[in-house]
A and B are shown apart, each in its own frame.
Chain A
Amino acid sequence: MVEPRLDGLVGDGRAHRSLYTDRDIFELELVRVFGGTWVYIGHDSEIPRPDDYVTRTLGRRPIILTRSRDGTVHALFNRCTHRGTTLCQEPHGNSRRFVCTYHGWAFTNDGACVAVPYPAAYGPSHDKSTRDLKRVPRLESHRGFWFGTLNPDAPSLDEFLGPAKYWLDVFVDRAPDGTITLHTPYRMTYRGNWKLIWDNGSDGYHPAFSHLSILKMSHIRYGGGRSLSNFGAEDPDEGHMYNQTLGHGHTMLDQRPGMGESLWSRARPMPSKEPQYAALVERYGEAEASRLVEMAPGPGLNLTVFPSFHLIGNQVVVITPLEVDLTAVNWYPTTLDGAPEVVNELRMRIAEDFPNFGEVDDFENFERQQAGLSIPEIEWIDTSRGLEVDRSWTDQRGIRTTPVTDDAPLRAYHEEWKRLMTVEMNLTAG
């Protein structure tokens, strides 16, 4: 691989187009960003029972996230230690062993090599235990979310998440049992670079324009103003929403100050709304029903954990770079463990709203960006909003709060991107 030029690509209120278009940079990102920092792999609820597994990727590295008999979770490289064949082809399943289809080497789901056919020819020094599957050497979880990294020098997951932990907790603590369950995601692609959705993650500048279709539709169907009412003002910076940079490239956009008392009453009408609410009232009474139904929408925040994890609405969103100009975005619906069935059903119907009527317009704009960025002679994009008119403040924890349309979140993740792309790194497969 050609070593791409990386110095001077981001900073001073601009970013170079090659971040989005250069194939060598992209391949390096898959190694260094999606390997050298903590990357979300999967959730406890996807492998609830012993011997459950899901297959995932870390950059281009195929991995299997397993739960072995004793309940321990492992992130194994999906690669036979003999000749490199991938061992598991299914997206998910339940299996104690993974047996290579090529020469029959077999491994238990904790990675141990347990069978090498006709071993005599390997001679007396042959020791199966030296052929165990390689694994993502560092694997840690917070509230059921498993993250892994190949970087021995990365900080602990706890330190990496930092203030983002609080917002993950806000999301999960809405469940009566204190845990959530992820379900089959709505999987979408756009023909653009993965960082285009990242630029968008805490961008409070775009909604009035990129989401005009959903605003107009809401106005036509349900009345009210055409502005995004939860901004509470014509100029979104005059409203009460804000965003924060949380370190390590993470950001948080807080919509709650603009949403009033009831998240439920702010949700656009969804299928089953009235009958299922009536069912809750019948079962629990009016007061309790109106309390329970507040669990159906999301908590009113967009959290981004660099480089691949978002909380948006009541969903977990995972971003997977496929090619320099192709990105998969999985929207995992979540149910709250211990919540009434009806509430969790309403969460499904709410989760179908934004990907259908909102995200698709962003995706189209990302594709238009990708096309525009192909021009070699026009090298820079503008990331300067809020640099000269600095209305930010930083609290004692070092968290920087900015008006909702500020580019500060974008600049913050670009700095983390630059750091990961240039810092000395010794990635290892354990």
Chain B
Amino acid sequence: MSELLASDPQPSVVDADFYRWLRDVPAVCAGPPDPDLRAVFEAFLYHEADLLDRREFGAWYDLFTDDGLYWVPIGDEADDPARAVSVAFDDHRRLGDRIAWMNTGNVYSHQPPSVTQRMISNVMVWAVDAQTALSRSAFTLHAYRRGVTDIFAGRYEHVLRMDDGRPTMIRMKKAVLIDRSSPLHNLTIIL
């Protein structure tokens, strides 16, 4: 991980096809979820949340594929990310920037750091093919810092790479906040 973050990160892979792929993701979620995949997905999502709560940002970053995306949209569901800003639209390189940035020790909004606790439920999973599955889940994130607890709530959408029937890597993590249309405080926290 550390050498990946050191310098000269790989060029971006976000191109017109990538945007097209993103626009098509929700359509795959039609139909009832697959109950057989739920347990392995829950285990993966809990592990991911635990890494973030323990501030193991490097290990969390390592879960992303080279063409992975961490995405926190703003505005209407229908907004095209190519024509809208997001709170985060982090391809692999910018996600590396974010982790390197947090590791500088000079992110003042992390001094002292927020103590966070994520909770995940309502996990629904759809298999796309042997290598890919999607999930939607509900999350709440309490973040305590300097006498104030901020609450973030919303929905996760994950596109995960599957190996031998288990999720192993994150192709996309999208966190859709319920209050994304109102002003938000201290979004330096990874959702």
Contacts and interface: CB of A to CB of B under 8 A. Distances in A.
Given A212-B106, A364-B108, A217 B83 contact: no
Interface stretch (A138-146, A165-173, A269-277, A400-408): A269-277
Nearest to A346: B82
B70 to A, nearest CB: 11
A5 interface: no
Interface stretch (B30-38, B49-57, B71-79, B163-171): B71-79
Contact of A352 (B16, B85, B93, B100): B85
B155 interface: no
Nearest to B17: A275
Given A272-B91, A275-B12, A360-B188, A216 B85 contact: no
Interface residues of B, number: 49
Contacts of B9: 221, 269
B13 A275 contact: yes
Given A221-B7, A271-B91, A357 B101 contact: yes
A341 B16 CA distance: 10
Contact of B82 (A212, A268, A348): A348
A214 interface: yes
A232 B53 CA distance: 40
A333 B87 CA distance: 12
A352 B95 CA distance: 12
Q: Is the interface of A mostly helix, strand, loop or mixed?
A: helix
B85 A213 contact: no
B12 A274 contact: yes
Given A213-B106, A213-B107, A360-B188, A184 B12 contact: no
B101 A189 contact: no
A206 B86 CA distance: 27
A328 B89 CA distance: 22
Interface string B1-33: 000011111011111101100000000000000
Given A272-B91, A273-B12, A217 B104 contact: yes
Given A190-B185, A356-B98, A279 B15 contact: yes
B109 interface: yes
Interface of A: 91, 183-191, 210, 212-214, 216-217, 220-223, 268-276, 279, 328-331, 333, 335, 341, 344-345, 348-349, 351-352, 356-357, 360-361, 363-365, 368
Per CB-CB distance, the 8 closest pairs between chain A and chain B, nearest first, are A275-B15, A184-B75, A272-B14, A364-B108, A213-B106, A187-B183, A274-B11, A328-B183
19 contacts: A183-B84, A184-B74, A184-B76, A186-B86, A188-B185, A189-B183, A190-B185, A213-B107, A220-B5, A269-B12, A271-B14, A271-B91, A272-B14, A272-B91, A276-B16, A333-B84, A341-B82, A348-B89, A357-B98
Given A184-B84, A187-B181, 4 more contacts: A188-B185, A212-B106, A275-B13, A275-B16
